[in-house]
Structure 1
Amino acid sequence: QLGRFAQADAHLSALGLGARLSDAIWAEDCTDSLPAEFFVRVIDDGLPSELIAALRQALHPGSVYWEEHRYTAQELEFFSHAHRMGEEVHLVDQLIEALRPLLAQVAPQVAAGACLAEWWAHHRVRDQWHGHPLHFDTHERLLRDSRGACVQHPSVSTVVYLSDASPRFGPTLVTSQRPREPGEVATLVQPRRGRVLFFDGSYLHGALPGRPWLAKPGDPERRLCIMVGWWTGALEPLPPSDPPEPLMLTDPDARWVRHLGKVPGLAASMRLGGQPQTLGSAVPVWRDVPTAARGEPFFGRFFLSHRGQVDADLLR
């Protein structure tokens, strides 16, 4: 991140790590044009401001939502919630319904065929600047039950940013890499309050580590976002459970649901249209590091023991 790539490569080589993200990605240099076939779209100002404000308040760091799902527990595995189209039990349901017209702008066939939306929330506080590991969005329950033999992705994945950019937290990285298909193109998207990022649900993605040493007084000290996966195939949600599981239905009587609440009279301001944003790209995604030994897996998959590690981790 400081641009000392040769020095970094020497350390990575000594650790037996044979690949890393490219210089352009670490420099956050996306000056090439975005290829037409690389499906990544960003829309600003397309969501009602009162909805964004209500979500930020309801999902504050001490929120019942994080508490009831034991979000900070080290042993907790991935969990998510199911949203049936047209359903509006709580704020996030309202958000997903507000996203549907935006999805129709960028992926009309997916919007027309979506039968279920899967959602989950993430937040990071001041000292959690380490980014989010590169990963694929998948049907987690099917992947676990099949022990990696069956991999399904949402048709489109979405990130809704509920906080503004800060050097303390890195941008979202989206690559064109799919399982067993190396990709050569990537783009970076900075958070902005109310911004919506759409991309192909089979793409490898994550969030780069931040640069907290560049943060100034007044910069946001929290990153908050909601992810939505749009599924066009048949999926059967699970009932609410404890511990939480992937793709759970909502219990309308749950304390966290009552805490989220709803914004009254929202329908009148749902169709705002928004402002599509132009993105650049970085090429390539990966750079090889000469090494004589095979190293141990490194957190985040920003550095790999070998280029096939991402697929090996998925199918493990």
Structure 2
Amino acid sequence: MSDQHTLRTQLRALVPDTEVYVSWKNADETVYEQGTICNYDPTTMFRHIETDDRTLLLSPTADETTVSEITATGPTRLGALNSITYNNRPTEPLRVTNAGIDVPSYLVGYTGQLLVSSGKRQELCHIAEPPLERYDARLFAELDAVLPSNWHETTLVIRPLGGPRRKYELIDDRRVDEYTPEQQQYTILETVIVTVRELSEAVYADTRLDTRTSTRIERKLFALQSQLLDIHQALFEPAPSEHPLEADDADTYSWTSYTDAIEWLETQLEEVRNRIEADNTFARERLRSTPLGPTVFISLEEIQQTLDEYPDQPPAECSLSTAKTVENQ
């Protein structure tokens, strides 16, 4: 095996964020440099290396691999590559989400063939247009031909033709989002709870409200949110951990003013209350100790009466730059 063939094999293994050490020969000496691989194109063996003070380009030709420095006027040849060493990357996680596989960065935008192996099974998968996106269900569908029926925590190797071989462990990060028909009619509670939280944050950030007023409103909103969370938990038992309320992922009502937000909350909660009252089996059994009582609507009415003294303010105008500090509360 020639030295040039060995260098080409090593080039194929260099992927983004790999720490690499290279040396090259020029007319007078051997130069050593350390850096990190960047700007990776899986269809070629060209590699860019970022060092502390410059960017290098490795360009294989028929006779040698050229080391160049990227400058404002273009690549400047430094010499012929002499050696490559790098830190072997460990097995990496490959996350399976509800939106598809969390595609590794070097495969985002890729089309073509992928050689995939798991255990003794090996398949050639084809990624057609459009190119792979950041989260892509097609990749999981292609891998399915190789994976065992119980694929959780499976280790597999993926290599694009002409690209590096990388080892992955499949991690199932999919959320359980399937509700029973009885639960489905109450999922609006998640958006209601998140909207109450956003309303509280807007009140806190509104410098037009004096400390006593904003504190009084925030306490009412906190009590309201606590009650709604108790109702949400009761409705989605006996296994609430299977349907956790992920506030950052829940839908949000785009309210434009305090009045708008409170009117929307009243409308949605009135609808939920009507459904609960008409539901003589599921809801009545679940909500024995945490009903959606009149105190919820009384709290909203009291908050609206307090805010009526102030002009409506959209949430976009309540920025952190104008927020009161915690010490002022």
**Smaller-chain TM-score bracket:** under 0.3
Whose helix fraction is larger, Structure 1's or Structure 2's? 2
Instruction: Output the TM-score relative to the length of structure 1.
Output: 0.23
Q: Which has the larger radius of gyration?
A: 2
Instruction: Output the TM-score relative to the length of structure 2.
Output: 0.22
Higher relative contact order (CA 8 A, sep 6+): 1
